[in-house]
Amino acid sequence: MRHELRDQLKSRAPELVDKVIEMALAGDTTALRICLERALPAYRPAAAPVTFDTTDESLTAQAQRILESVGQGTVTPDIGAQLIHSLAGLARMKEIDDLEKRIQALEQQ
């Protein structure tokens, strides 16, 4: 049912867009809001890439470096929190990998 309705709307899309624009220009504030939201979507800032050379550091040391970067203002607090969250996920994955290796070693004995 949804697919059929979507197809009907799609076939009439140019007419519908023209009508909404016409209504917006005539003062319909809802139509105006719809037009503006489609033409100028809400601004969502994109974070700049963050790189850390952490190849030989423990996860705790990496987290500490992230917190220091937040404190120095080189990384925003929200990005810092996301990075720490990612490290926590990585720690869980490493823990699972270690457990799998231990189980395999025990099974081979």
Could you report the per-residue pLDDT of 82-103, keeping only the tens digit for each?
Answer: 999 999 999 999 999 999 999 9
Please state which of the ranges 18-22, 24-28, 42-46 shows the lowest mean pLDDT: 42-46
Regarding predicted confidence, which is higher, 79 or 48? Answer: 79
Banded pLDDT at 54 (limits 50, 70, 90): low
**Residue 17 CA: distances (Å) to CA of 12, 21, 29, 35, 51:** 9, 6, 15, 9, 44
Compute the radius of gyration of the chain from its Cα atoms.
Answer: 26
Q: pLDDT confidence of 44, banded at 50, 70, 90?
A: confident
Range 43-48 contact pairs with CB under 8 angstroms and sequence separation of 24 or more = 47/76, 47/79
